[in-house]
Amino acid sequence: NAGVTQTPKFQVLKTGQSMTLQCAQDMNHNSMYWYRQDPGMGLRLIYYSASEGTTDKGEVPNGYNVSRLNKREFSLRLESAAPSQTSVYFCASSSPLAGLAGPDEQYFGPGTRLTVT
Amino acid sequence: AQSVAQPEDQVNVAEGNPLTVKCTYSVSGNPYLFWYVQYPNRGLQFLLKYITGDNLVKGSYGFEAEFNKSQTSFHLKKPSALVSDSALYFCAVRDMFSGGYNKLIFGAGTRLAVHP
């Protein structure tokens, strides 16, 4: 049981390049999330997928797109990278209590450290 | 909107001493509060959560948190700090998506440094 896995671990891009960050979970969780972590700002939600087949914008969606490929996988795409997207990106998953949006903990992947020059 | 604040960027404590990492919250309705820890170059790990009931919540690694409704606080505590507790700690509050699903709103984080 690997939990939440992310690839790649590190990436350096030039401004204007594109890339996709991959995330997969093996806990049969319904909900998946993408966050970015910047110093002094905590974690900010980029996009989320409440359940398979749905995606929605979080706090800071500009410059990103997502795909919920199936229940396990949730990818984040940068179409045209900018230096402001230099950050550490975390994927997380969670499973609401049955039938209701009960309080639940999120499980995080190890992160992708992205630098855009 | 729900929010949490962590007023200290860094907390320094000597090994063996008690530690407190502060968190205050602002919510409408009942608060659902969480603490997470992040070790260097790792993702966040769940420590504990408050939903309802006892104001003192016990969690992983000997940590506990005290919920105080009148002070709107949820401080993280440990009676005796270890050097291995040195990490970044995040307080979070549950918010709701439209459609009834959860999301978490995180504080900015507090770096805990435990010195030998």
Residue A63 in contact with partner chain B when CB distance is under 8 A: no
pLDDT, residue A5, reads 95
Question: Would the CB atoms of A90 and B32 count as touching at under 8 Å?
Answer: no
Considering only CB atoms, which chain A residues are within 8 Å of B109?
40, 42
Q: Do A43 and B44 touch (CB under 8 A)?
A: yes
| Residues B60 and B76 sit within 8 Å (Cβ to Cβ) | no
What are B40's two structure tokens?
């260097």
pLDDT 10s digits, B41-73: 888 999 999 988 889 999 989 999 999 999 999
Which of B114, B14, B112, B22 minimizes the C-alpha distance to B76? Answer: B22
On whether the CB atoms of residues B13 and B26 are closer than 8 A, the answer is no
CA end-to-end span of chain A? 36
Question: In 10 A of CB A112, how many CB atoms?
Answer: 22
Phi, psi dihedrals of residue B61, rounded to the nearest 5° = 60, 25
Tell me the average pLDDT across B5-34.
94
Q: Is pLDDT at A22 greater than 90 in this prediction? A: yes
Residue with more model confidence, A116 or A95:
A116
Rounded distance, CA A94 to CA B32, Å? Answer: 15
Q: Which of A9-18, A48-57, B15-24 has the lowest mean pLDDT?
A: A48-57
Return the pLDDT at B30: 81
Q: What part of B 19-38 touches A (C-beta under 8 Å)? A: 32, 34, 36
Give the closest-approach CA distance of B17 to chain A in angstroms: 26
- The pLDDT value recorded for residue A98 is 45
Tens of pLDDT, residue by residue over A44-103, are: 999 999 888 889 898 899 999 999 989 999 999 999 999 999 999 999 998 865 444 445
Instruction: Give pLDDT, residue B73.
Output: 96
Q: Is B107 on the interface with A (CB under 8 A)?
A: yes
User: Cβ separation of A101 and B44 shorter than 8 Å?
Assistant: no
Q: Does B54 touch chain A (CB under 8 A)?
A: no
**Residue of B44, B90, B102 lying closest to A101 (CB–CB):** B102
Decide if A90 and B44 are in contact by the 8 Å CB cutoff.
yes
What B82-88 contacts at long range (C-beta under 8 Å, 24+ apart), as own/partner pairs, is B82/B15, B82/B114, B83/B15, B83/B114, B83/B115, B83/B116, B84/B114, B85/B19, B85/B61, B85/B112, B85/B114, B86/B112, B86/B113, B86/B114, B87/B37, B87/B38, B87/B39, B87/B40, B87/B111, B87/B112, B88/B37, B88/B38, B88/B39, B88/B112
Ranges assigned E (strand) in A1-117: 4-7, 10-13, 19-25, 31-37, 43-49, 56-57, 64-68, 74-78, 87-94, 107-108, 112-116
